[in-house]
Structure 1
Amino acid sequence: MNRLDPGLLDGVRSRVSATGGLPDDHALADALRASGRVLGSEALVDLTRAARAELTGAGPLQALLETPGVTDVLVNGPGQVWVDQGDGLRRAELDVGDAADVRALAARMAALAGQRLDDASPVVDARLPDGTRLHAAVEPVAEAGAVIALRVLRQATLDLPALVAGGGVPEPWRPLLDGLVRGRANLLVTGGTGTGKTTLLAALVGRVPADERILTVEEARELAPVHPHVVPLTARRPNVEGVGEVTLSDLVRGALRMRPDRIVVGECRGAEVRELLLALNTGHDGGMATLHANAAEHVPARLEALGALAGMGRQAVAAQAAAALDVVLHLRRHRGSRFVAQVATVGVASAAGLTVDVAARWDGADGPGPIPGRGWDALLDRWVR
């Protein structure tokens, strides 16, 4: 990607700033033509892309973010850029300048996301306009001057047959997943970062009957299911004055008043777990959500930790979760492949708290077939047979 010289970039910035809001490619191309310094359609296309990266994107990092398969772009300081394409981190041959340049890039991206990043506020967690997640820190927090972590947003569009064909779901489990959706089970999709939780969630939502109304609640829009009646709701962070925030909890409560047939929460990571469990306990069957967890067996502890953020005690979380949730689908990531590794059932609350029992396991397409365990036949009897 060509780099714009500072004079041309300043001229483009001044021309598009009068329009207000974020300029699109058409406005950027018009500003470049007006400069009188761009000749040829190919050069215009290339410089438009470069202008978009500098004014509304990640600057020199934008090309890496747009590379197919890239999930993360990390800058550890001058001369240290790393990328992850699903098979681990590798060094990228990209020069982003000295420490001052890295800090300026981080501050510009923070401002683009409506946040500030300076000595008074040295850490930022925000979303760029295209949904890319930005986390950055500058001195004195970051000894290198500034560090940047970018997580790529890729909308999940695969359907269930594609996941089965690609080795993400074993064929013997496909009837169960269809039965869970058709039978309006309340599902929790769990796994670590980058295991494909959102992809599986979108595929399951795509199996919902076409005459049902689905409301999705997300921090940033990633779900793109193939379904004719999906109403997406997206959270909003506070602006630099600290106002205007719309939380996931606000959206879940609001979704209940919008006549949903099903409520889907893209990721439950905080106090919104209370609203999710309450919603699933008020007759809104067939709900779905994702949750970070290391294994299906760890879900009770994870729910208890999130419930504590909402002021819920252990017994309250166990009672609400046992009544609200039916099945946990846990995903793993191994050697670049992502697959459903565990199917578990949520048991009734007891003196020991919530119970999650694994009914079947799978080690992925490279291993043996799925292994049924205790409770597998009962699971099939309830949701398939």
Structure 2
Amino acid sequence: MRDRLAASGDDADAPAVARAVREVGAVLGHDELRAVVRAVRAEVLGAGPLQALLESPGVTDVLVEGGRVWVDRGAGLQRVDLDLGGPARVRALAVRLAAAGGQRLDDAAPVVDARLPDGTRLHAVLPPVAEPGTLLSLRVHRPQGFSLEDLVRRGSVAPVLEPVLRGLVARRANLLVSGATGTGKTTLLAALLSLVPADERIVCIEEAAELRPDHPHVVRLVARRPNVEGAGEIDLASLVRHALRMRPDRVVLGECRGADVREVLSALNTGHDGGCATLHANAATDVPARLEALGALAGMTPRAVAAQAASALDAVVHLRRTRGLRHVAEIGAVSGGSDGLVVERVLACGPDGELEVGAAWPEVARRWGLDPVVA
């Protein structure tokens, strides 16, 4: 079927696949034809036998270890009994997916990180670098976003924290959303950006276009990887500099990964209030150490990072994943002193909604212009 579609020059859409099936002389009923069309499109355009898992509601990750398949539906990894057809087929699938993402995957380049046309994030490793066989990690991209009200209803944001988050956005606080991988940082950031007034312009800089805030004026800048000759790269740091020339009301960096942290801190120190970024960290109080490590990649000393971050950032919103629930666990206040950069936890909330109020919260709330009384 792949050869026939390639020879015809048709796109592998449903009508073209159906025509190709009829041309081979197969006699199928309506339901059987529809199933064959889905299978062929998954094999030609999608993730083959994994496509049904990627399209399954609730699935966030699909992992392949040689011939074994695992999925994450929000409650941890679960083994799936799925036949992928042997090591050669798994390797061929990985190579085809990498090509669909515009990347090369072979013995000379056995590791790849790519974005598929439907937004799915792909990471693949070939043997012998991957000892158990070809490794595939697929992070599902859900195009629909969530409002802050949706996150409250789902339990991701405790009701007592909702007015605090709304107040921070309304008062143009510079926010850093932190957490481990898969805790919902991008989802929360998109929900917060949806609260920005409609007459403001948001410029989002990302490695891959994931942020989808419900806002009428969002400009997206996406980094570009170098081609196989090593040319053509446009990194996040350069995009942050370009964003400042685009008359932004709010500058947003999808994720601080390296030297781009210097550009973001500089931007937030030049009058661009209301900016946001995400950062991988274990806890809100660990953010200073992470910023220092990233600043070192940009040639910044710990003292320079502390001075820039203390002036640029107002609050850290930290997320955790507890018993499968992604939730806002901490809100910290950023300050600088003789000991360098400090993030003090002022509000903490467990997965069941129990609230812990830090001793410094009343003073911090007044500094942020918020009501210091929380229920």
* TM-score computed with the length of structure 2 as normaliser: 0.92
For 2:238, the equivalent position in structure 1 comes to 250
For 1:62, the equivalent position in structure 2 comes to 51
Residue 254 of structure 2 corresponds to residue 269 of structure 1: no
Shift of 1:363: 0.8
Matched residue count: 370
**Residues in 2 aligned to 1:270 and 1:38: alpha-carbon distance in whole angstroms:** 57
Matches within 5 A, 1:139-288: 139-155=127-143, 157-288=145-276
SS of alignment partner, residue 341 of structure 2? coil
Asked if the contact 1:156/1:222 (under 8 Å) is kept, the reply is no
For 1:114, the equivalent position in structure 2 comes to 102
Residue 364 of structure 2 corresponds to residue 352 of structure 1: no
**Residues in 1 aligned to 2:127 and 2:322: alpha-carbon distance in whole angstroms:** 36
For 2:315, the equivalent position in structure 1 comes to 327
For 2:72, the equivalent position in structure 1 comes to 84
**Residues in 2 aligned to 1:373 and 1:222: alpha-carbon distance in whole angstroms:** 34
More off after superposition, 306-315 vs 25-34: 25-34
Residue 364 of structure 2 corresponds to residue 384 of structure 1: no
Structure 2 counterpart of 1:100, which letter?
A: A
**Residues in 2 aligned to 1:259 and 1:33: alpha-carbon distance in whole angstroms:** 55
Matches within 5 A, 1:11-160: 11-16=4-9, 24-25=13-14, 28=17, 32=21, 37=26, 39-78=28-67, 80-155=68-143, 157-160=145-148
**Residues in 2 aligned to 1:117 and 1:31: alpha-carbon distance in whole angstroms:** 30
**Residues in 1 aligned to 2:8 and 2:232: alpha-carbon distance in whole angstroms:** 29
Q: Summarize the Cα distance change of 1:316–1:38 in structure 2 as closer, same or farther, 3 Å threshold.
A: farther
Shift of 1:84: 1.0
Structure 2 counterpart of 1:383, which letter?
A: G
Shift of 1:26: 5.5
For 1:4, the equivalent position in structure 2 comes to none
Structure 1 counterpart of 2:40, which letter?
A: A
Shift of 1:376: 1.1
**Residues in 1 aligned to 2:171 and 2:23: alpha-carbon distance in whole angstroms:** 60
Asked if the contact 2:171/2:369 (under 8 Å) is kept, the reply is yes
SS of alignment partner, residue 161 of structure 2? helix
SS of alignment partner, residue 172 of structure 1? coil
Q: Summarize the Cα distance change of 1:339–1:156 in structure 2 as closer, same or farther, 3 Å threshold.
A: farther
Shift of 1:244: 2.7
Task: For structure 1, list consecutive stretches of 5 or more residues without a partner in the other structure.
Answer: 1-7
SS of alignment partner, residue 377 of structure 1? helix
SS of alignment partner, residue 347 of structure 1? strand
- Across the aligned residues of Structure 1 and Structure 2, the Cα RMSD in angstroms comes to 2.0
Shift of 1:276: 1.1
For 1:373, the equivalent position in structure 2 comes to 358
Asked if the contact 1:100/1:145 (under 8 Å) is kept, the reply is no
Structure 1 counterpart of 2:358, which letter?
A: G
Structure 2 counterpart of 1:384, which letter?
A: L
More off after superposition, 104-113 vs 199-208: 104-113
**Residues in 2 aligned to 1:151 and 1:173: alpha-carbon distance in whole angstroms:** 28
**Residues in 2 aligned to 1:28 and 1:315: alpha-carbon distance in whole angstroms:** 61
Shift of 1:156: 5.6
Structure 2 counterpart of 1:66, which letter?
A: E
* TM-score computed with the length of structure 1 as normaliser: 0.90
SS of alignment partner, residue 203 of structure 1? helix
**Residues in 1 aligned to 2:160 and 2:318: alpha-carbon distance in whole angstroms:** 16
For 2:296, the equivalent position in structure 1 comes to 308
What fraction of aligned residue pairs are identical, expressed as a percent? 61
Asked if the contact 2:255/2:278 (under 8 Å) is kept, the reply is yes
More off after superposition, 47-56 vs 284-293: 47-56
Structure 2 counterpart of 1:257, which letter?
A: R
SS of alignment partner, residue 246 of structure 2? coil
**Residues in 2 aligned to 1:231 and 1:40: alpha-carbon distance in whole angstroms:** 47
Shift of 1:191: 0.7
Q: Summarize the Cα distance change of 1:30–1:293 in structure 2 as closer, same or farther, 3 Å threshold.
A: farther
Task: For structure 2, list consecutive stretches of 5 or more residues without a partner in the other structure.
Answer: none
Structure 2 counterpart of 1:180, which letter?
A: L
Structure 2 counterpart of 1:11, which letter?
A: R
Shift of 1:40: 4.9
